[in-house]
């Protein structure tokens, strides 16, 4: 569970990821919050617009239409790769979707088939509309696909989410086909590669480190950590935290049962890393796990 970042932070992380951002009018306060809450946020949803022309696309995504008032997303990703921010807060982009899909996104697991529309998605997702006719023939320029990758990765990086937190509208709401023309599985793979690389603006680690790093086990998912959990992954986490200098939180050896010492040590580690501070809740996500073995 994550609290939505501020509008200023949202703008900042997109720019930090190397995106060309266009601010449209009063986007920071243009929302549908009077219709219901926005947050906690759990993921990012990608759409196509079924429109042609950037100016017209941005206008309709900002204002909406009679049956569906705007904003219809938070950002419009144009064919030239620019991201036009049209709203921030609750937006009419996700609609009602499958609660089983939401639970899979929260657990960062593969999504099941969407066969219900019983959950309000506008509350739980960041949304990007991408300029495309959605007919399977309209091309997706490389610069636009890269912008989708960057925008989704920037949000995942801030909230310490895995690529599984990024889904398409077609994976959420029965009957939807967007985005059409590229694979969400391939997009999540691209996002994963970006998250595994060095953060934007920071140097990559040397290809041959001066000392051999420990083998980093695969991230087992958030579900194995937290109150009531008892497993070997908690032991590995605690041992690594001790090795990183956070042994002061443990009065006895770490693991395998989750304790408040694990939470305090994890949170202290997150607070010590700028890219983790935005969501330092004491529960390891994929970026926390990655940095522990970096």
Distance CA 287, CA 191 (A): 13
pLDDT in tens, 112-161: 999 999 999 999 999 999 999 999 999 999 999 999 999 999 999 999 99
So where are the chain's domains?
7-196, 222-292
For residue 4, how far is the Cα from the chain centroid?
Answer: 11
Work out the widest C-alpha separation in the chain, in whole angstroms.
63
Question: Any idea which of 22-31, 205-214, 224-233, 255-264 has the lowest mean pLDDT?
Answer: 205-214
Q: What is the pLDDT of residues 235-289, one digit of tens each?
A: 999 999 988 888 888 888 788 999 999 999 999 999 988 888 888 899 999 999 9
H helical segments located in the chain: 7-16, 54-63, 99-107, 142-159, 184-196, 232-241, 260-271, 286-292
The pTM score is 0.71
Q: How many CB atoms lie within 10 A of CB 186?
A: 10
CATH architecture of 7-196: 3-Layer(aba) Sandwich (3.40)
Exposed/middle/buried for residue 135 (C-beta within 10 Å: 0-12, 13-18, 19+): exposed
CA 278 to chain centre: 13
């Amino acid at each position: 569970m994550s609290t939505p970042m501020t509008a200023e932070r949202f703008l900042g992380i997109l720019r930090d990821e190397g995106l060309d951002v266009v601010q449209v009018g009063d986007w920071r306060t243009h929302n549908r919050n009077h219709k219901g809450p926005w947050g906690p946020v759990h993921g990012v949803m990608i759409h196509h617009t079924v429109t042609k022309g950037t100016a017209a696309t941005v206008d309709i995504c900002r204002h909406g239409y009679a049956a569906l008032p705007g904003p219809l997303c938070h950002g419009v990703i144009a064919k030239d790769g620019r991201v036009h921010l049209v709203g921030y807060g609750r937006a009419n982009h996700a609609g009602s979707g499958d609660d089983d899909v939401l639970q899979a996104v929260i657990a960062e697991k593969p999504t099941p088939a969407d066969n219900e529309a019983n959950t309000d998605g506008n509350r739980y997702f960041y949304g990007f509309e991408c300029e495309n006719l959605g007919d399977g023939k309209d091309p997706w320029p490389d610069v636009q696909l890269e912008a989708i990758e960057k925008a989704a990765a920037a949000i995942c990086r801030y909230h310490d989410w895995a690529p599984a937190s990024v889904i398409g509208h077609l994976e959420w709401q029965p009957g939807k086909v967007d985005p059409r023309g590229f694979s969400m599985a391939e997009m999540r793979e691209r996002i994963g590669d970006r998250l595994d690389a060095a953060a934007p603006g920071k140097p990559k680690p040397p290809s041959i480190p001066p000392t051999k790093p420990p083998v980093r086990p695969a991230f087992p998912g958030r579900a194995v950590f937290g109150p009531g959990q008892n497993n070997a992954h908690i032991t590995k986490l605690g041992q690594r935290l001790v090795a990183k200098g956070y042994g002061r939180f443990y009065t006895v050896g770490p693991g395998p049962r989750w304790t408040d010492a694990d939470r305090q040590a994890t949170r202290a580690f997150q607070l010590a890393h700028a890219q983790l501070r935005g969501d330092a809740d004491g529960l390891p996500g994929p970026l926390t796990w990655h940095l522990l073995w970096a």
